[in-house]
Structure 1
């Protein structure tokens, strides 16, 4: 962002191209000022996001943004990105299933039905999924939320 809080045009285009704006994560004091001046919350978020990148196009966009920002390129950020890029090149990009709207609706309906059955089968633990058991436990006040 610039001093007026506007997102530069190149960042808007990047979001349209790859689905996200890496500068939103990277344009922060992550490491360079020492522990007392580092935003550790955003630092953890950046590391987690980098580890979750599934496509070479996205990791390349992150590398380009890190190099373009005034505060970069930071060696440790570039290193994390290069590690992720190497992982994707070696293991391949993640292929997400593509569902039609009808398939998504059907999946949601089935999840809803399973959740409804959870309430009806309160005594039958063996048929519940782990998440259903967790929801039941929380509803009964048996686990911290």
Structure 2
């Protein structure tokens, strides 16, 4: 008896998210089809020109914009950035550094600092044999 192998597929939105690109900026054939795990792996291993161009110049999805600016996605929204940005637009924000960006970067730094403190605290408790508390 032979086993039947189903190919795992995903929606274009999921594939775009995994590739770190803005779905609406991808070619129509990518948006309209389904993407197999093998196709996704091939796109990651040897990206076609359209994918390299999107990664280089955008428009970039919010998670990528937030990472490039050093803020959270919520921080982008608080700063009024709700649409995807191109690399040039991101670079302009980095040059101009509006007040909201300074504030959100400071907030993000505090969040990271607190997360590191909690991780260290929990590691110390684990060493002492105590269970971490929420």
Q: More relative contact order in 1 or in 2 (CA 8 Å, sep 6+)?
A: 2
Larger Rg: 1
Fold agreement, TM-score > 0.5 = no
In the superposition, the TM-score normalised over structure 2's length comes to: 0.28
In the superposition, the TM-score normalised over structure 1's length comes to: 0.27
